[in-house]
Amino acid sequence: MSSSNLTTWLADFVYTEGRFHSRLAFVCDDAGLVVQAGSTTKSINTISLKDRAILPGLINAHSHAFQRVIRGRTEYRTPNIKDSFWTWREMMYSVASRLTPEDIYDASRMAFLEMALSGITSVGEFHYLHHGPDGTPYEDPNLLAKQVVRAAQDVGLRIALLRVAYARSGYETEPNPQQVRFIERECEVYLKNVEKLVNDLSGSMGMAWVGVAPHSVRAVPLNYLRQVVQFAEVRKLPIHMHVAEQEAEVSACIEEYGRSPVALLATEGLLSERFTGVHMIHVTPKATGMLAAARAMICACPTTERNLGDGIIPADSFFKQGLRVALGTDSQVEIDLLEDARELEYHLRLQKMERAVLASTEDKGLSAIAARLFASATVSGAESIQARGGTLEPGSPSDFFTVDLNDPSIAGAFEEDLLSTIVFSQSKAAVKDVVVGGKRIVEDGRHAQQEEIVERFKRLQKKLWG
C-alpha cells in the first residue's frame, strides 16, 4: 500500500501486546485498520501526539443509554420503606414512560458523547424500550432501537444493539402498567422484530450490529428463552441477560423452576461462549463452575451495582475459574469505564480487608492487576459484544484513545508503572483524543458536536423535570 494511504500517529507510548512501547509509531490505513503498531514507519500523513500515550479503545459491554436522564434524581430516601433496586426502578419506569423517540435520541446521544470523551469506542446497548407510551407498537417496531443507533453513529461510536426480550412482569406477578413499552408477549413477534433489525442494520459497515437480550429469568419464561437462545446460536449473535442481580429474583427462580438462575441456564443447555451474564452477583461457587464449563462470560457494572446496593461481583472467583469479565456503565450514574475497572478490585479489598485481591501467584511486575483490569475494559468487552477491537494488533480496527502524560492525575509515571497509574488513578480529563476506524471523533478533549448535544440534552431535562 502506498504511504499516501497510510496515517501514522506518533505518540510517546503505544499500548500493544500487553505492554507499553516507547517512542514508536502507530500506523493505520484508509480503511481504518491497524497496519502496524510499534513500527518506526512514517507516512505522508503523520500526526504528532507529543506527551501522549495511545491505548486501545475501551469497550462498554452494558449500557441503558436513556437512563442518563435520571442521574442525580434517585439519590434520596423513600419515607417508611427500605430503599433498594426495586424502589429505584419505579423512578426509572416513571421517566421511561414519558420519553418520545426524539427524547430517546437526545438522551442517548448525551450518554454516548460522555462515553466518547472518556475513551470508549464501542458500546453494547441493552435496549428494552420498544413501543409507544401506551404500549402500542410503532409502525416500525424497531423505531426506538434505531434512534439509539442513530445517536451512537452521530457521535461516532460503534454499537451492538442488544434487543431485549421482555414477556412478563415476573413469575405469578400481575402485569405492571409501567412496563407496557417493553413487553412483547409472543416470542415469534420478538424474533421477527430482531430479524428485521438485523437486516436493516446490515449495511452499517461494522458500526452497528445486533444481539439478543432476554431480559432476565423473571421477565422471560423458559420456553420463550429457549427459542431466543436457539435463534441467536444459529445466527451466531451475542446473547446478553441479567442474571442474579437481586436475591429476590434468585428466590423467585427457585420457586418457579426449583433451580437458581445459573443452574437453570446450565441444565437447559442455554449457556455458551456467546452468552454474557450481566450483574452476576448472587452466585455460588458451584454456579461459577457451571459458567466456566460453558465458557460463558460475565459483565460487571460496579458503579451501578454500588449505587443500587446490589452487592459485590465475586470477580476473584470468576478469574480463578478462567472466566472472562467485561465491564459496563449500565445506568449511567457515572460514565468512566476505568473507574468500573478499579472498583472491580477495590470492592473486593473492602469486603476481604486485604489488598491486591485479583493478583495471581504467577503475577510479576507493577502492572499485573492493572493489565487484568484493562483487559476487562477492552479485550473481554469486545468478545462479549462481538466488536472487532479491544487491541491494536495488525488487522484490527484503528479504535484507540490517547492520554495526556502531563495530566496531574498521571504525571510522573514511568513506562513500567504507566498502566497501573492509568487504571487506578487517571482522571477522565486526561483523555485527549479518541479515534474510531481511523477517524478522530474527539480532539484535545472536545467533540465537534459537544455544545449542540449538551444544549439539546439540557432542554430535554428541563422538559422532563422543570
Give yes or no: 279 in active site.
yes
Query: Over the stretch 159-171, which tens digit does the pLDDT of each residue have?
Result: 999 999 999 999 9
416 vs 23: CA distance, rounded Å: 14
pLDDT at 42: 61
pLDDT band at 338 (very low <50, low <70, confident <90, very high): very high
184 vs 212: CA distance, rounded Å: 14
346 vs 355: CA distance, rounded Å: 8
Q: At 123, list the grid cell.
A: 458500546
Residues 298 and 277 sit within 8 Å (Cβ to Cβ): yes
Residues 181 and 130 sit within 8 Å (Cβ to Cβ): yes
Q: Give Cβ neighbours of residue 100 (< 8 Å, ≥ 6 apart).
A: none
Residues 460 and 106 sit within 8 Å (Cβ to Cβ): yes
401 vs 407: CA distance, rounded Å: 15
Q: Does domain 3-56+389-450 have CATH number 3.40.50.300?
A: no
Is pLDDT above 80 for 2? no
pLDDT band at 346 (very low <50, low <70, confident <90, very high): very high
pLDDT band at 53 (very low <50, low <70, confident <90, very high): very high
pLDDT band at 41 (very low <50, low <70, confident <90, very high): low
At 98, which amino acid appears? R
Stated pTM of the model: 0.96
Closest CA to 118 of 439, 433, 423, 437: 433
Is pLDDT above 80 for 44? no
Closest CA to 377 of 420, 326, 332: 326
Q: At 368, list the grid cell.
A: 499485573
- Percent of residues, the chain, with pLDDT higher than 90: 85
Which position among 106, 330, 336, 433 bears the catalytic label? 330
At 159, which amino acid appears? I
Which position among 64, 127, 279, 447 bears the catalytic label? 279
Query: Over the stretch 169-218, which tens digit does the pLDDT of each residue have?
Result: 999 888 899 999 999 999 999 999 999 999 999 999 999 999 999 999 99
Report the DSSP beta bridge partners of residue 10: 25, 48
pLDDT band at 1 (very low <50, low <70, confident <90, very high): low
pLDDT band at 38 (very low <50, low <70, confident <90, very high): low
Is pLDDT above 90 for 354? yes
> What is the per-residue burial (b if ≥16 Cβ within 10 Å, else e) of 135-156?
eeeeeebbbbbbbbbbbbbebb
Within 353-400, where are the H helices? 368-377, 379-385
- Percent of residues, the chain, with pLDDT higher than 70: 97
Where are the CATH 3.20.20.140 domain residues in the chain? Answer: 58-385
Whether the CA torsion 56, 61, 66, 68 is positive or negative: it is negative
Where are the CATH 2.30.40.10 domain residues in the chain? Answer: 3-56+389-450
What is the CATH topology of the domain spanning 58-385?
TIM Barrel (3.20.20)
39 vs 41: CA distance, rounded Å: 5
